[in-house]
Structure 1
Amino acid sequence: MFKKLLLPVDLQDDTGSGDEAAELAVGLARAHGAAIHVLSVFPGVGLPWVSTYFPADSLQRARDDLRRRLTDWAGDHIPAEIPCTVDIAEGAPHRCILDEIRHVGADLVVMPSHDETGAERVFLGSVAARVVERAHCSVLVVRHPRRG
Structure 2
Amino acid sequence: MSIGQFCIRDTVIVGKGDTIVEAAKVMRQHHVGSVVVVEESEHGCKPVGILTDRDLVVEILAKEVAPEAVTVGDVMSFELVTAREQDGLWETLQRMRVNGVRRIPVVDDRGVLVGIVSADDYLEILSTELGELAKLLGREKGREERTRGS
TM-score (normalised: structure 2): 0.27
- Computing the radius of gyration over CA atoms, which structure comes out larger, 1 or 2? 2
